[in-house]
Amino acid sequence: MLSLLHPARLRAAPSDAAAPAPRRPAVILPGLGNNTADYARLAAALRDGHGVPSVVARVARPDWLRNAAGLADPSYWRGTLRPRPVLDWYLKRVEEAVSEAKELCPPDGKLSLIGHSAGGWLARVYMEEFGTSDISLLLTLGSPLLPPPKGVSAVIDQTRGLLDYVEKNCAPAVYTPELRYVCIAGRYIQGVPLTGNSTATTDEVVAVDAPSDVAEAVMVSAKDKSAQSGPTFQARFVGQGYKQVCGRADVWGDGVVPEMSAHLEGALNISFDGVYHSPVGSDNEGRPWYGSPAILEQWVHHLLS
Asked if residue 250 belongs to a domain, the reply is yes
Q: Residue 112 falls within a domain, yes or no? A: yes
49-63, 102-116, 158-172, 197-211: least confident range: 197-211
Lowest-confidence segment of 64-68, 130-134, 256-260 by average pLDDT: 64-68
Assigned domain for 220 exists: yes
Of 47-51, 103-107, 181-185, 276-280, where does mean pLDDT reach its minimum? 103-107
Range of the domain at 256: 22-304
pLDDT of 114 strictly over 80: yes
User: Do the domain assignments include residue 130?
Assistant: yes
261 and 183 Cβ atoms separated by less than 8 Å: no
Per-residue pLDDT at 86 exceeds 50: yes
Query: Is the predicted pLDDT of residue 8 greater than 60, yes or no?
Result: no
The answer on pLDDT for 217 being more than 50 is no
Over range 58-87, report the average pLDDT: 89
Q: What is the CATH number of the domain that holds 57?
A: 3.40.50.1820
**Average pLDDT score over residue span 277-287:** 82
Q: Does residue 231 sit within a domain? A: yes
Q: Distance between CA 117 and CA 32 in Å, rounded?
A: 7
pLDDT at 197: 57
Q: What is the pLDDT of residue 198?
A: 53
- Whether 83 maps to a domain, the answer reads yes
Domain count, the chain: 1
Instruction: Please report whether residue 267 resides in a domain.
Output: yes
In a domain, 224, yes or no: yes
Closest CA to 115 of 166, 71, 49, 189: 166
Strand intervals (E) in the chain: 26-29, 54-56, 111-116, 135-141, 180-187, 189-190, 204-206, 218-220, 252-253, 268-273
What is the pLDDT at residue 29?
A: 98
What digits encode the pLDDT tens for the residues 144-175? 999 999 888 888 888 898 999 999 999 999 99
The structure's pTM equals 0.83
What gap in Å lies between CA 278 and CA 115, rounded to an integer? 12
| SS3 assignment, position 114 | strand
